[in-house]
Structure 1
């Protein structure tokens, strides 16, 4: 079993590569839910949905989020009637949010809903939330505390980041099947190339999760989301700089600290100061072949550490 911790777009690309190589029963993807929020009465799980759409072949390659072949009649009418349209929900995408919200209100666990949806969409590997308990990422800026989606989408990540917190993490419990997979001595734990602050650290903030990973007896290998001091997509480099750290692969490795036994980074990037064993690969994933190549490189790194 490979247990892969993932955020949205970057993590989903590697998860797709892994899903094309590994038998479905040998891959478990643990999704960040710190980005989750309620919008216009609907339960939105952006990272779960990005992973789901990507592995189902339904992702939107132009926007980088949502479903492909989308239409926007609902959103246009919603805005015309005075609804908030800063977070856009396409017509096809909307069906998932309505269904999830209904089932959550019926008392069903998020993990059960997520697993049922991935099966209905023909996805082999399991996708599970980090917890069935709500955890919400918040950003402290010079303007005070801002809920993550307000900061990221409505404000386009413009306010300067001074701190990040994960509301509810202290009382959340790791998803039970994720803990069981870690206790069953997996082949490796992979940390996908996702933003450490807002995609991976919410997972590690849940009491018992970091300890379970450290004690699982498997190599823990992270892939850097920073290439030549820049993030491929999203606010990772900006957040490093605003939190007083030069954005670099070494800064990413330092965030995970002693948890790591291996670190995969771009060929040619500076590895100075990185403690875990370094493996070089092309980490920029443009097409499927890049995703497959990186997945093979990360699996080879993990096996070399066993």
Structure 2
């Protein structure tokens, strides 16, 4: 039986129709983001600051709402706020009228997304916000729309042509909403001094969670830590290196302070007939690179890569308390 011939695919090039279409889409969307940036430097700047302050001072949560494509963007914006230290969740504008208004309290702030600002499903939500005095931020492209006029803060997006050749499918407009939502979330993150440590509490899972583990979570301590005092013969140091399996041995002084390290690289550099009779003092690398227990795993990986080494000793008040190997980062999913 004859084998079927493999399907032939045309290689993409600068004249490929699909590529040209993609480039037009990206150009259109980039022009929308550029217009948004220009607006922030002028008329949009003051309401953006007001929105940031309103959300930052809220006793409750940020309620993001919308429907259609704006709703999809709203869900992502709410997730970004929540993951960067601003309690937030999404309420569908249509579902709000069927009981979900009960999710919104008088301590919350509402961020409503609608390009036109005229969806009828928004009316009950607008009325609810007015009735209970819940601050309302409108993100629309029409400052004279029903939603914008009802809002306490109007984030009016600049007009922009959709990437769709018919200027119909929400593309550029959706990207602009997402970009402005991200800008608000990051402004609040920076304003409240949200640190990588805070970030790690909210992202314990996946690759990101692994990067945000601490050295203390991954290090080997106790008897697993290869250590020898100053004055030790290299023959004994080599036994310690081999038995512990990290390719190195830390050298401590009489106060148990780490003063040096002997690595496989040091052995190669010092290779000579009498190497095993020398003391570690003559072979070791002094003032080795170390990390603290609270160093994030991502930072450990960066230091290993930048220094072109595979092992770091963890110290506390100059005393070695643990050791981390590149393989530990691999097993944890960091590298």
Query: TM-score of the superposition, structure 2-length normalised?
Result: 0.29
Q: Of the two structures, which has the highest relative contact order with CA contacts closer than 8 Å and spacing of 6 or more?
A: 1
Query: TM-score of the superposition, structure 1-length normalised?
Result: 0.31
| Structure having the larger proportion of residues in helix | 2
Larger Rg: 2
